[in-house]
Structure 1
Amino acid sequence: MNRPTQAAIPRAADLENPLYYLENMETVLGWVLRHHRDLLTGGEVLHLENFFHLSVSARALLTRMVMRTGDLFRADKLAYPELESAEADALAELAANSWLDSQPVVSLDELFRLFTVAELRTGFAPLLAELGVPRSVSKGRMRALLEDRYSEARSMSEWPGMNSESVAGAGQTLVVRVCDMALFDRIRLMFFGNLRQSWSDFVLVELGHQRFEQVTFSPESRAFHRRGDVDNYLAMHHCREQLDQGVLASEVWSQLPEGTDNPWLTGRRNRLLLELGRQAERQGDRELALQAFAAGSHREARLKQLRLLERMKRFEDAWVIAQKWQATADGIVNEAEAQGMARIIKRLAVKVGASEPAAVKRPALTEWTVTLPHPGLLSVEMAVQEYLGTEEAPVVYVENTLINGLFGLLCWQVIFEPVPGAFFHPFHVGPVDLTREDFVARRQAMFDRCFDRLDDGSYRQRVLDNWDAKVGIANPFVIWPALSRELLELAMDCIPVLHLKVIFQRLLANIREHRSGFPDLIRFYPQAPDGDNRFEMIEVKGPGDRLQDHQVRWLEFFAGHGIPASVCYVRWQDGGESASAQTGVPG
């Protein structure tokens, strides 16, 4: 038997290898054994180590079954030409090593999933004839007729006409069940950090074309510190599955695991409580919904709790909670939440007889219009770029790439800091908690040091050093093909550091929403004298297009902080006349 060697630094398999999926599975198992051995029982460790002692064909066939849906398989349908030996031999080896049950107990539902209607009609022919049912009976009708008689699961030899001689051939195993799917789910969770991703997300993908930052893994950086953490996650996952299946929220509430001292798991529990509250409200259990919303600290739960109290006409309760939240030290960072809270407080003030809060004045946007010849195949953004750009004032199409790229390069080391629960394996584009509410709070001191570089002027060298050292490595903020060292240097020459700082601060306030919505173009004035604006951002809107909400919020932010930005509305000429500005073009 060929036992594979496990590299210290795992790598993705070459798709030219017909058994690449096995190589990737071995990478996963080896990684978990190295980094999470203490979270496995002694029996689980021995079983996984046994996997590497199986023959290549047995390991490959087991991997194929684990990757598929369910744990029950027809042996005669397992056909993989890349195996070195016959599937029957591999199945026998897996059964002998307790990876498969070759005599599984099968329920009626499982039987009907495994076999075709023709096979079932043949197997149950005598009974169907006894019941006076025609041979042309549908699969669904047949199952309904049989469910009372066959309510108990049984071995394949006990099912009428369902034995190896009548279906698969004499001496052949008919149906097998993978014995350790729960163990593979546990491994999948410890490797991916979630159960949303399937084995195919790693085992069947080509990762070799992408380069990943090498993050230092240590026991302290793991999301799971003890086996109970994994059990807690699995219990919450089961609760979420039940909610998705329509189980009553009150039943799921009784199964909800207690909170833990693990911040990463606490965040997941808050999201589960939010969903449980939503489901309870839909099911008419308003008191449980309020209890669930109040039990967690998810930001969305705040507004949902207040809106539900409004619908229940408990205005005084809602008013007290809203005032308390507004007075908390952390405040409301999310702009959408702040907007929703302001609307609720305005409505509640009327209901409780309080003074209505003063309306917040929104800054005016700079807008202008230009008429251009139709650009043909060029986009409207490219047409405006060509129209405005000069040698002295170059215009670059950047949209969301430039500001995000500058931020990602400045804060590279913080983004890839191995805080607990941020990275689970070596193939992450970025930390898995990037868009979670506590992403910044868990790294606040490190981000503060990054921003100190903006204050002391060393940010420029840090950006360029990271460009030179990291070029081509995946980063959730850096789109390498859209950037160049020259563009970064020009941007840092022209964009005042104070503008960069406030933009980065807003970006961090809500990464999920604020990574997008930046203006399409940026125009630089590298020769402008000190004190003058040396750049401006321009959002381009073609005929019939309009600003999106997240774009408006960025533009209002720029206006409120004196950052030059405007909206250019484009009209197309009827004829081929030269372009002319309709209203004041900035610059």
Structure 2
Amino acid sequence: MAVRNPISPQPGTADLNNPLYYLENMETVLGWVQSHHGDLLTAEELDRLASFHTLSLPARALLARMVMRTGDLFRSDKLKYPELGVPEQQALAELTDTGWLDTDPLLSLDELFRLFTLGELRPALGAFLKAAGEPANLPKGQMRDALLSRFSGPLTVADWLGERAKPVIRLKTMALFDRVRLMFFGNLRQSWSDFVLVELGHQRYEPVTFTPESRAFQHRSEVDLYIAMHQCREWLDAGVPAVEVWPDVPGPSDNAWLTSRRDRLLLELGRQAERQGERELAVESFASSGHREARLKRLRLLERLKRHREAWAIASEWQNQELSDAEAQGLARILKRLASRLGQTPPQPAAKPPIRDITLTLPKPEVGSVEYAVQHHLYRDDAPVFYVENTLINGLFGLLCWQTIFAPVPGAFIHPFHVGPADLTREDFVSRRQASFNQCFGLLAEGSYRDRILENYRAKQGTTNPFVIWPVITEELLSLGLDCIPAEDLERLFRRLLLNIREHRSGFPDLIRFFPGATDTAKRYEMIEVKGPGDRLQDHQIRWLEFFAGEGIPASVCYVRWQGDGVMG
């Protein structure tokens, strides 16, 4: 499958001081799609996009502004953009002459009420209200409800409000721009305005090699499939009953990236079906979804339906798979309840190792947090303490696995402006890169990991990475971390992180203390979670601390009370 070469290997972003920067960014997006996804567009669609570039500068800018707004209907008197340099009506006339606009569109009653104010609607629609036996001073919402049954079809604005009504125009190609937006962003959640006005701005992005194979969509039918799933999700969000949406959910796809999208749609459909009393549909929807959360929801629903043996069989098989902590915890609770009902022996939970803790009584600082108070108290020149929370371990992981994170896996990088891969928190993120992650762990085993981390630290400085917070990862912190944290500990931490990136990327202790002069390599650092008076450990923090204790990784909880407060809060 041939894909045209990009306009440039790494398209640039517009200067935000340029009042038409949004147009420059929009043209970057259109050029990228024409270059990389042209084979997924029809000849008519390609011709229409090509004609965009032949418009005058003011007409292109106004069209870009209209595309970025919500919906495809506009009142021409409300389009005010002084940066065009010409009257808006002049640009509108050019767009009309070149076939971009419908200047006499049909409007539904809802569209009419969305575009016009109550003061504009009352004079024209008062007679209809009177004929319906309604007072002329109804609020807008009640006025709309009163007229809804009297007008079943759309009318032009002149038919609705008379010839003197302010003109309305419709952008005729919004569906094409939505398709372009999907192929560029890889989703329809991001609006044009969010992306073109903001996200192409101030960051430095990692260059990713784009090939035909790395694209999110390989065939036009896959774009159509995504649009169909998006429509189903919009129906659900609009309150359409799940049982009515279910027949329109597309079937499975060979595209793994689209499969994950379908899994999330089925998860949401199952949730709504359950809330709406359609329990059998919810069970079927959860069973059809491969989403991590759908498995527990299916088991809990089977319990409520008293289908205990079915739930037991599924749960017993599932417990032998690799699970995140939250999944293992939820599954253990379900198995315990099912075992009681079925006379089975529940699996014995693993003994939880004790979490080490200490208590400090400190003078209450006038300014600063409790974490900084503990850091200051513990800090010594030969045992420096840093406030790192989730940044250090994530940062070391991101630097070691940089090339793996930014590998051009299909669907991971749809355009050149990603902070990280689009599939970062999906269940198949690791499996799609398993061989590359194995190579990273091989560097830990053979001892060359330090060179890889330092090389990426120097070469990638300031480039966005979902795991690396550059202002925090200083050279001093990085050097101490590599000197004092054994490779074996890093491997244990990184492997757990990859079990569930969404869940495990947070919950790390607040502080880390280094002992660079210690002769025992296992005792050259300690992680410390700080809890002030009245503060408690969160579940995800407890799971990390139990993991540390079980793996022999030095960590503790420091409970702080303030001098003069009496007992600990």
Task: Report if aligned partners of 1:13, 1:206 keep a CA contact under 8 Å in 2.
Answer: no
Residue matched to 1:475: 465
Q: 1:379 to 1:334 in 2, by over 3 A?
A: same
Residue matched to 2:360: 370
Residue matched to 1:175: 168
Q: 2:124 and 2:76 mapped to 1: Cα distance? A: 18
Q: 2:132 and 2:433 mapped to 1: Cα distance? A: 70
In structure 1, what residue type is equivalent to 2:108?
S
Residue matched to 1:214: 207
Q: 1:86 to 1:287 in 2, by over 3 A?
A: same
Residue matched to 2:101: 100
Query: Over residues 152-173 of structure 1, what are the superposed CA-to-partner deviations in whole Å (9 max), with x where a residue is unaligned?
Result: 2122333342x2xx234xxxxx
Residue matched to 1:340: 330
Q: 1:102 to 1:132 in 2, by over 3 A?
A: same
1:315 to 2:308 alignment: yes
Residue matched to 1:53: 54
1:274 aligns with one of 258, 267, 279? 267
Q: 2:349 and 2:498 mapped to 1: Cα distance? A: 26
Query: Over residues 481-521 of structure 1, what are the superposed CA-to-partner deviations in whole Å (9 max), with x where a residue is unaligned?
Result: 00112221211111111111111110111111111111111
Query: Over residues 462-499 of structure 1, what are the superposed CA-to-partner deviations in whole Å (9 max), with x where a residue is unaligned?
Result: 00000110011011111010011222121111111111
Q: 1:375 to 1:139 in 2, by over 3 A?
A: closer
Q: 1:67 and 1:91 mapped to 2: Cα distance? A: 16
Q: 1:258 to 1:473 in 2, by over 3 A?
A: same
1:40 to 2:41 alignment: yes
Q: 1:256 and 1:134 mapped to 2: Cα distance? A: 44
- Residue segments in structure 1 that go unaligned for 5+ positions in a row: 169-173, 576-581, 583-587
Residue matched to 2:27: 26
- The alpha carbon displacement at 1:150 in A equals 3.0
1:296 aligns with one of 289, 297, 305? 289
Q: If the length of structure 1 is used for normalisation, what is the TM-score?
A: 0.92
Q: Report % sequence identity.
A: 64
Q: 1:20 and 1:188 mapped to 2: Cα distance? A: 18
Q: What SS does the corresponding residue of 1:310 show, helix, strand or coil?
A: helix
Residue matched to 1:171: none
Query: Over residues 113-147 of structure 1, what are the superposed CA-to-partner deviations in whole Å (9 max), with x where a residue is unaligned?
Result: 22222222222455566777665443344434433
Residue matched to 2:182: 189
Task: Report if aligned partners of 2:205, 2:464 keep a CA contact under 8 Å in 1.
Answer: yes
Instruction: Tell me which moved more, 235-244 or 125-134.
Output: 125-134
Q: What SS does the corresponding residue of 2:414 show, helix, strand or coil?
A: coil
For residues 47-86 of structure 1, the aligned pairs below 5 Å read 47-86=48-87
Q: 1:559 and 1:130 mapped to 2: Cα distance? A: 78
Q: What SS does the corresponding residue of 1:462 show, helix, strand or coil?
A: helix
Q: What SS does the corresponding residue of 1:567 show, helix, strand or coil?
A: strand
1:407 aligns with one of 397, 414, 428? 397
Q: What SS does the corresponding residue of 2:530 show, helix, strand or coil?
A: strand
Instruction: Tell me which moved more, 129-138 or 382-391.
Output: 129-138
Q: 2:71 and 2:7 mapped to 1: Cα distance? A: 28
Task: Report if aligned partners of 2:25, 2:200 keep a CA contact under 8 Å in 1.
Answer: no
Q: 1:123 and 1:305 mapped to 2: Cα distance? A: 54
Count of aligned positions = 561
Query: Over residues 251-299 of structure 1, what are the superposed CA-to-partner deviations in whole Å (9 max), with x where a residue is unaligned?
Result: 1110011111000001111111111111111111111111111112222
Query: Over residues 322-375 of structure 1, what are the superposed CA-to-partner deviations in whole Å (9 max), with x where a residue is unaligned?
Result: 122224xxx132111111111111111111111232232100011110111111
Residue matched to 2:194: 201
Superposed CA RMSD in Å reads 1.8
For residues 86-125 of structure 1, the aligned pairs below 5 Å read 86-124=87-125
Task: Report if aligned partners of 1:364, 1:559 keep a CA contact under 8 Å in 2.
Answer: yes
- The alpha carbon displacement at 1:444 in A equals 0.4
Task: Report if aligned partners of 1:12, 1:206 keep a CA contact under 8 Å in 2.
Answer: no
Residue matched to 1:388: 378
Instruction: Tell me which moved more, 181-190 or 82-91.
Output: 82-91
Q: 1:494 to 1:131 in 2, by over 3 A?
A: closer
Q: 1:144 to 1:298 in 2, by over 3 A?
A: closer
Instruction: Tell me which moved more, 100-109 or 119-128.
Output: 119-128
Task: Report if aligned partners of 1:464, 1:485 keep a CA contact under 8 Å in 2.
Answer: no
Task: Report if aligned partners of 2:319, 2:328 keep a CA contact under 8 Å in 1.
Answer: no
Residue matched to 1:585: none
Q: 1:398 to 1:146 in 2, by over 3 A?
A: closer
Query: Over residues 21-68 of structure 1, what are the superposed CA-to-partner deviations in whole Å (9 max), with x where a residue is unaligned?
Result: 111111111111011101111100000010000111111111111111
Task: Report if aligned partners of 2:253, 2:259 keep a CA contact under 8 Å in 1.
Answer: yes
Largest Rg, 1 or 2: 1
Residue matched to 2:3: none
Q: 1:276 and 1:125 mapped to 2: Cα distance? A: 42
1:564 aligns with one of 544, 550, 554? 554
- Residue segments in structure 2 that go unaligned for 5+ positions in a row: 1-5
Task: Report if aligned partners of 2:332, 2:349 keep a CA contact under 8 Å in 1.
Answer: no
Instruction: Tell me which moved more, 14-23 or 524-533.
Output: 524-533
Q: If the length of structure 2 is used for normalisation, what is the TM-score?
A: 0.95
Q: 1:149 to 1:307 in 2, by over 3 A?
A: closer
For residues 459-474 of structure 1, the aligned pairs below 5 Å read 459-474=449-464
Q: What SS does the corresponding residue of 2:67 show, helix, strand or coil?
A: helix
